[in-house]
Amino acid sequence: MDNNISKLFMAHYTLSFTLTLFVLFSLSQSSAANILPIINPVSPSTICKFTPFPNFCKSMLPTTENVTSNNNVYDYGRFSVHKSLSSAHKFHSLIQKYLRQSKILRIIDIRALEDCQVLAELNIDYLSSTFKTVNETSKILPILEAEDVQTLLSAILTNTQTCLDGLQETDFPWSLRNGILTPLIDDKKLYSVSLALFIKGWVPNKKKRSKSHPITQKQSAFRNGHLPLKMTARNRAIFESISRRKLLQQQDDDQDLEDDDQVLVSDIVIVNQDGSGNFSTINEAVAAAPNKTDGTTGHFLIYINAGVYEEYVHISKNKKYLMMIGDGINQTIITGNHSYGVDNFTTYNSSTFAVHGQGFVAVNITFQNTAGAINHQAVAVRNSADLSTFYSCRFEGYQDTLYVHSLRQFYRECDIYGTVDFIFGNAAAVFQNCNLYPRLPLEKQFNAITAQGRTDPNQNTGISIQNCTINPADDLRFSNSSTQTYLGRPWKEYSRTIYAQNFIDGFINPLGWKEWTGDFALNTSYYAEFNNTGPGSNTSDRVTWPGFHVINATDAANFTVSEFLLGEDWLPRTGVPYFKA
C-alpha cells in the first residue's frame, strides 16, 4: 500500500464509527448520483441473503436509518470491503502483540504466528487494491478487472484459512487461543461477505461472462503436442548465448511473430556455484532483482547453471516478474528437507521453494523436499504468486509435495511425484501435459493425488488437470504393496477438482475419490471427469456422492486455460506453450 493510501486509511481510523460511515456512504452515493445510473435501494436483510452468512452479514452492516435508507449493493459492498481492511489491520497488530510474548511460546507456535503475519500483510495489500477498485465505480466491471478482484478476495479467504489451519495444527496455548482464533474466525466471515457482495454488484452475470465453447475434436488434437512457442530472434539469441542451446525452442520457424507474443527480458544474471557467474547462490540473485516492477519492460531473468543448490528460496511479493531458467530437469536442482512437526515447521513454512511475486516463471528446474514419507507433510514448492507459470519442471516429495496455495497458476509439461495429497491448496491452477507419479507411501497409508482447499462457494479456485498422464512411480509400480491410490479427496468444504482428457493407468482405485472424514463435503464439493482414457478412467464404479459428476465438453471448457485462468491475456508473454481449450 503506498504512503498516500496508508495515510488515508490511518485518518479514517481516527474518526468515530458514525462519521466514518457518513463519509464513506456520502462518497459512494455522490459517485453513483453524479456519474452512474441510479441503483435501486435495498435493505440489509435483502442483500445479506446473497451471502453465505446472512445473520453475520446483517449484524455487520450499518443500521442507522439516515445512513442506510438509500443504500444499494454498491454501498454495502464498499462498506464491507472497508471494514474488512480495518479488520485486517487490527489482526496484523494483534499478531505483532502475540509475537512480543514469544518467551511463553514454542518455536512452532512462533512460526505459525509469523506465517499469519505474512498472510495478514498480503491481505492488507489485496484489500487496499480491492477498495480502490470498488470505490471508483458503481457498475458492472469488465471481465478481466472483475476477475482480478474476485481472485484477490478469494486469496484473502485462503490466506485467512491458512493462518487458522497453522494455529490449530500447532496446539496453540489455551491461555492465548481464544484471543486470536475468535477474531480470525469472524474476519473469515467478513471476507466471505465482502466477496459475495462484490460478485453481486460488480461481477458480470455468469451467462454474460461465459465465452465457453465445447472442447472440440480439433482442439483435443493438440493432445501430446505443442502449440508453437513464439519468440523473437533477439530473445532466442539471449537464451542461446547464456545456455549454448535453445532453452525455449520455437516450433515453427516460418510463422509470423506479433509484438504481443514476444518474450521480453529486462536483464539477465547468471548463478553458478563455481563463482564464474554473477552470483554463487540463488538467494543472492533474487535479492539483486528489482522491486515492484510491472512487467512492461520484461522479466528479470535468473539463469541457474547445473548443480545441486541446498537453499531455501523465498521470493517475496515485491519481486515481481522474475524468470528462472535452469539447465534442465535433474541438472539444476533446488533441494531442502524441512517438514511439519518433526522440525518445528508448519506445513506452510516447510517449503524448499516459496514464491509470492506476481508473474513468476520457472523453466527446466527440479524442486525437491527430501524429508521422506516418514516425516509426513513436507512441501517442495509453495506457490502464492498470481499469474505464475512452471514449464518443464520437476517436483519431488512425498506428502504435500506441491502447495498450489492461492491466486492463478499454470503448469505445463511438469513431472510431479508424491504420496498423500501431493498436489494441494486453493489456487486456480491448471495442469497441462504433465506427468503425475504417485509414489510408495508409508505402510497403511493411501495416496491421494489432490486435496483441493476451496472454503467458499464464491471463490474462483480449483485444480484442473488436463491432458496429463497418471502412472505409478517405479517404487509403487514394482512393490508388492496393497497401497490404494485415489484421484483426490475434499480437504475443505467446497473442494473442486476436474480431470479432463488425461491418461489414467489402472492402479487408480475404481471409486476414484476418497472421503476426508465421514461425510464431510461430499455434498458441497465438486469433482468432475471428462473424456479421460486408460484402464483407470472407467467411471462406472465411481463414488456416488452428490458432489461427483461425469461432465460434458461444454462444462469441461469452463476449466480450461482460456476460461478458468483467462490465460490468453497473460500466458503469451511468458513464452510457454499452452492450448487454450
Q: How far is CA 404 from the centre of its chain?
A: 5
- 480/285 Cα distance (integer angstroms): 46
Question: Cα–Cα distances in Å, from 118 out to 152, 186, 302?
Answer: 15, 19, 25
| Of 144, 124, 145, residue with least CA distance to 136 | 145
Which of 148, 187, 421, 456 is catalytic? The answer is 421
In this structure, the number of other CB atoms found within 10 A of the CB of residue 6 comes to 13
- 525/471 Cα distance (integer angstroms): 25
Tell me 491's DSSP state.
S
Q: How far is CA 457 from the centre of its chain?
A: 16
The label of the residue with cell 471409486 reads: 511
Helix (H) or strand (E) holding 271: strand 265-271
- 403/426 Cα distance (integer angstroms): 9
Three cell numbers, residue 550: 461425469
- 472/481 Cα distance (integer angstroms): 12
CB 537 within 8 A of CB 193: no
Could you give the 3-state DSSP secondary structure of residue 210?
A: coil
Gyration radius (Cα) of the chain, Å: 24
- 28/150 Cα distance (integer angstroms): 20
Q: Please report, as a single letter, which amino acid is at residue 119.
A: L
- 325/331 Cα distance (integer angstroms): 11
| Of 301, 306, 335, residue with least CA distance to 321 | 301
CB 417 within 8 A of CB 395: yes
The label of the residue with cell 476477475 reads: 147
CB 66 within 8 A of CB 165: no
Q: How far is CA 96 from the centre of its chain?
A: 26
The label of the residue with cell 514469544 reads: 102
- Three-state helix/strand/coil letters over 33-75: HHHCCCCCCCCHHHHHCCCCCHHHHHHHCCCCHHHHCCCCHHH
Q: Please report, as a single letter, which amino acid is at residue 299.
A: H
| Of 120, 93, 79, 90, residue with least CA distance to 13 | 90
CB 399 within 8 A of CB 377: yes
The label of the residue with cell 535452469 reads: 326
CB 504 within 8 A of CB 532: yes
- 457/525 Cα distance (integer angstroms): 9
- 287/153 Cα distance (integer angstroms): 29
Alpha helices in 170-223 (DSSP H): 174-202, 206-209, 217-220
**Residues pairing with 470 in the sheet:** 436, 504
Mark whether 187 is an active-site residue: no
Residues involved in catalysis: 421
